[in-house]
Amino acid sequence: MEIAETKKLENLKKIMSNMEFFTKLNPDAVNNLLSVPIKLSSYYELNLMVSSLLKTSISLLKNDISSGIAIDLIILLEIALQLLPEDEMELLDKIREIDKR
């Protein structure tokens, strides 16, 4: 029986090595996380995406939500938080300070 199981594993390894599977997530060895690239055309599009996620979350919060929707809402808010361009916002603050002088 062990030989049959070993052959199955070898076949699975062969199939996986011959094709491009598991390409959506990119490993981040430093943080032991996975990342998913999102292609955007501009910061404006990024802003629209974050705004849409937040507006949807607000809309859900205004209605009675079930526990299943609450989990979805948490996921939407976590995505929005990760998409916020923190470094760029800091740069805008510095540029604004220069303009004040």
Q: Give the model confidence (pLDDT) of 76-97 as tens digits.
A: 999 999 999 988 888 888 888 8
State which residues form the domain around 49. 24-85
Residue located via tokens 């430093």: 30
Residue 9 falls within a domain, yes or no? no
Q: Are 65 and 73 in contact (CB under 8 A)?
A: yes
H-type alpha helices, the chain = 2-18, 43-62, 67-83, 86-100
At 10 the pLDDT is 86
Please report, as a single letter, which amino acid is at residue 33. Answer: L
At 47 the pLDDT is 93
User: How many domains are there within the chain?
Assistant: 1
At 79 the pLDDT is 94
Residue 81 falls within a domain, yes or no? yes
Residue 63 falls within a domain, yes or no? yes
Residue 2 falls within a domain, yes or no? no
Alpha carbon 58 to chain centroid, angstroms: 20
pLDDT under 50 in the chain at which residues? none
Distance CA 11, CA 5 (A): 10
Q: Are 43 and 88 in contact (CB under 8 A)?
A: yes
At 77 the pLDDT is 93
Q: Name the CA dihedral angle for 82, 87, 93, 96, rounded to a multiple of 10 degrees.
A: -120
Residue 91 falls within a domain, yes or no? no
